[in-house]
A and B are shown apart, each in its own frame.
Chain A
Amino acid sequence: MTEPALAERPAARPEAAIVVRDLSKKFGDFVAVDHLSFEVAPGRITGFLGPNGAGKTTTLRMLLGLIHPTGGSGLIGGIPYAQLSRPMETVGAALEATNFHPGRSGRDHLRVLAATHGIPDSRVDELLALVGIPAAARKRAGGYSMGMRQRLGLAAALLGDPHVLILDEPANGLDPEGIRWLRGFLRHLASEGKTILISSHLLSEVEQTVDDVVIIANGQLVRQGTIDELHGETTALIRTSNARGLIEALRAAGLEAGDEPAQGPGAVRVVTADLVRVGDIALAAGVPVHELRVLRTDLERLYFQLTESPENRNRNLADGSSADTPPPGALPHDLPPPDLPPPPADLPPGASRPDASEGSDR
Chain B
Amino acid sequence: MSRLVRSELRKYFTTRMWWGMALAMFLVGALFAAFTGYFTLYGEMPVGEAMIRVRDAVPELTMVRMIYSGGIQFAYMLSLVIGVLSMGQEFRHKTISNTFLAGPRRHQVIFAKVAALIAILVVNAVAHIAGALVGGGVLLATAGESLFPDVAALGQTFALMALILIVWGLIGLGLGVLISNQVAALFVGIAFALIVEPIVAFALTFFEGWDVLAKFFPSQATTATLSLYSGMDPALGEAMGAGGDQLTWWAGALTLLAYAAIMTLIGLWLTRRRDIT
Contact = CB atoms under 8 A, between A and B. Distances in A.
B14 A87 contact: no
A66 B94 CA distance: 12
A253 interface: no
A99 B98 contact: yes
A110 to B, nearest CB: 10
A145 B95 CA distance: 18
Contacts of A95: 97, 101
Interface string B258-274: 00000000000000010
Nearest to B112: A116
B247 to A, nearest CB: 40
A117 interface: yes
B93 A96 contact: no
Contact of B100 (A66, A96, A118): A66
Contacts of B97: 61, 66, 95-96, 99
Contact of B98 (A105, A113, A115): A113
Interface residues of A, number: 34
A101 B89 contact: yes
A96 B275 CA distance: 16
Chain B interface extent, by class? 20 to 34
B95 A101 contact: yes
- A contacts with B: majority SS: loop
A161 B129 CA distance: 45
Interface in B91-142: 93-95, 97-98, 100-105
Contact of B102 (A58, A68, A116): A116
A66 B101 contact: yes
B276 A99 contact: no
B94 A112 contact: no
Contacts of A100: 93, 95
A112 B10 contact: yes
A216 interface: no
A99 B95 contact: yes
Interface string B3-15: 1101100110011
Contacts of B100: 65-66
A362 B277 CA distance: 8
Interface string A140-159: 00000000000000001000
30 contacts: A58-B277, A64-B104, A65-B104, A66-B97, A67-B275, A67-B276, A67-B277, A83-B104, A87-B102, A87-B104, A88-B102, A93-B101, A96-B97, A98-B93, A100-B95, A101-B89, A103-B16, A104-B11, A104-B15, A105-B14, A108-B10, A108-B14, A112-B7, A112-B14, A113-B98, A115-B3, A115-B7, A116-B6, A116-B7, A118-B3
**5 tightest CB-CB pairs across the interface, nearest first?**
A115-B7, A108-B14, A116-B102, A66-B276, A82-B104
Interface of A: 58, 61, 64-68, 81-84, 87-88, 93, 95-96, 98-105, 108, 111-113, 115-118, 156, 362
Interface of B: 3-4, 6-7, 10-11, 14-17, 89, 93-95, 97-98, 100-105, 273, 275-277
